[in-house]
Structure 1
Amino acid sequence: MQRVELISVDGIRLEAALHPAVSSPCRGVVLLVHGVTVDMDEGGGMFVRLAERLVAAGFDVARFSFRGHGGSGGTQRGVTIAGECLDLQAAVTLVAERFTGPVSVVAASFGAVSTALSLPWLEDRLHRLVLWNPVLDLRHTFLAPELPWGVENFGPEAQERLRDKGFLVVDGAFELGRVLFCEFDRYRPSEQFLASSVPALIVHGDKDSAVSYPIAADAAGRREKVLLHTISGSDHGFDSREREDEAISVTTDWLVEQSAVMA
C-alpha cells in the first residue's frame, strides 16, 4: 500500500491510499468511496479488507477520505454534497493518472450520493458500480426520517440544535452543518442512478435501521443491469464479521465475473 495526497479542485487536501494488484494481468482498478462519519477505511476497516481481497484477485485499488473526514483537510461542518462531488472527481483523476484498465466504483452508504450524482459525467469511463446499503433518497433518510437511526440523529431535537447552533451531531461524534442539511432537499441521487446504464450490484441488509432497504430494492427492480444481493438479517454497515465477509466476498466475486465478461 502507498499513501498519497491529492488536491480537490477547490484546494482541499485529501488523504488517499493506493493498492497495486499482486497478480497479472490486471483486471482493472476499483475506487472505494466511503460513507458519512467514517473515512477511507470504512466502518471497522471494511475497505481495507475489501482492498486486500481485490488486489489478490488481480485489481488495483484506490481509497480516499472525503473532506472533513479522516486525515483529509476541511472541517466536518464544512462538508457538503457538492464538495464531496469535487473530491470524487479528484479521486477519479488520480486513478486515471496512476492506473490503466477499466474503472469500477464501490460506494458505501452516503458515498452513493456523490457517486450517483456524478454518473452524468462519470458513466462513460465507468465499467461497473457496486453500492453497499446506498443512500438513494435523501428526504426519507434525513429530512423526514422513518428509520430509528434517522429519527435519533435528525429528529425534532436535532433540527432545533441545527437552527440554534448551525450544526447537529451525528452518532455523538460528527458535526453536520446546516448547508449540508439544506442540500438534502435539493439532490435526487436515485434519479441519476435510475437514468444510468452502468451494470450495478447493490448489497444491502434487509434489517437496515438507517438506510431504507425497500427503497434500494425498488431501485434495483426499476432498472436493467442491476443485481440486488440481500444480506439476510443485517443492519446498516453489515453488523457482524460474518455479514461483512459476505458483502466483501459477493462484491469481489461479482467484479471478477464482470471482468471476465468484459474480456
Structure 2
Amino acid sequence: MHQAELVSLDGVPLEAVVHSPQGQSSRGVVIQAHGINADMSEGGMFVRLAGRLADSGFAVLRFSFRGHGNSGGTQRGATIAGEMLDLQAAVEFMTARHEGPVTLVASSFGAVATSLSLPWLDDRLSQIVLWNPVLDLTHTFVDPQLPWGKENYSPEQQRLLHTQGFLVVDDEFELGRVLFEEFQHYRPRDYFVASSVPGLVVHGDRDSAVSYEIARSSAAARRNCDFYTVSGSDHGFDTRAREDEAIEVSIDWLTSNALGTQ
C-alpha cells in the first residue's frame, strides 16, 4: 500500500492510496467510491476490502472525494458534479498505470457519481458493485421517506439550509446549498438501470436511510445484475459481522467474474 498523487480534473488534490496486487500480474483494477459522511476508508470496510482484493491480485485505489478526508475543497463546496470529476480522475489515474478490466465499488452516496458516470464509463468497465446505493435523490433527501432523511432534511432543516447556506448532517458533514439543489435535478437510477455493465447490489433490508426497495427494484430492472440482501442490517451494515458478510459476498462475486473474463 502506498500514497498516490491524485489530482482531480479541475486541480483539486485528492487523498488517495493504492493497494498493489500480489503476484506477477494484475487481475484488473478496482476503484472505490465512498459515501457522503465518509472518506476513503468507508469506516474501515474499504480498507479491509482493498487488502483482500490486492491479495487476490487486483490493483485497488481508495480515494477521498473533494471536501472529505484529507482531500482539497470544503464540505460546503462539495457537489455531485465535482465528485464526477474526481471519479473520472481516479479512473484515468489507475488505467494509465495498471492493465486489466476495471471495476467500481461504490458505497451509499458514492453510487450517485458512479451511476451518473456510467454513460462514458460503460465501455471501460467490466463490472460494478453498489453497497446500499443512493439511486433516488428525491426519496432520500428532497422529500425524504425514511427516518434518517426525515431527521436531517425535514422542512425545518430545508428552511435553515436556505437561510444559512448549509446543513450539518449527522453532526459531522456540512452539506451546502448547491449540493442540495443538485438533488432535485439528477436521476442516478435512470443511468444505473440503462447500463448493461454486469453489476452486484448489496443492501440491508432494515436500511433506515436509503431505500432497500428502490435498490432491489432497480437491480431487477436492469440486465446482468445480481442482488444480495444482508438480512436485518441497517444502513452501512451495522455490525462487524454484517460488514464482513457484505465484503465476503462482494469478493466472491468480483473474483468469480474476473475469472470468467480471463
Shorter-chain TM range is over 0.9
Q: Give runs of ≥4 in structure 1 deviating > 2 Å.
A: 23-26
Show CA shifts across 1:18-62 (max 9, x none): 00111244211110110101100012x110000111111111101
The answer for the alignment partner of 2:147 in structure 1 is: 148
Matched, 1:106 2:110: no
The answer for the alignment partner of 2:199 in structure 1 is: 200
The answer for the alignment partner of 2:254 in structure 1 is: 255
When the two chains are superposed, the root-mean-square deviation of aligned CA atoms in Å is: 0.8
User: Which AA in structure 2 matches 1:11?
Assistant: G
Q: What is the CA-CA distance between 1:74 and the residue it aligns to?
A: 0.2
Distance 1:256 1:226 in 2: 16
Q: What is the CA-CA distance between 1:104 and the residue it aligns to?
A: 0.4
SS of 1:201's partner is strand
SS of 1:256's partner is helix
Distance 1:74 1:174 in 2: 13
2:29/2:95 contact within 8 Å kept: no
* Percent identity of equivalent pairs: 62
Distance 2:186 2:160 in 1: 23
Show CA shifts across 1:150-189 (max 9, x none): 0111112211210110001100110000000000010000
Matched, 1:26 2:26: yes
Distance 1:48 1:148 in 2: 29
1:107/1:115 contact within 8 Å kept: yes
- The 5 Å alignment of 1:28-47 reads 28-43=28-43, 45-47=44-46
TM-score with structure 2 setting the length? 0.98
The answer for the alignment partner of 2:68 in structure 1 is: 69
The answer for the alignment partner of 2:84 in structure 1 is: 85
TM-score with structure 1 setting the length? 0.98
2:26/2:98 contact within 8 Å kept: no
1:158/1:169 contact within 8 Å kept: no
The answer for the alignment partner of 2:131 in structure 1 is: 132
Number of aligned residues: 262
Distance 2:222 2:155 in 1: 35
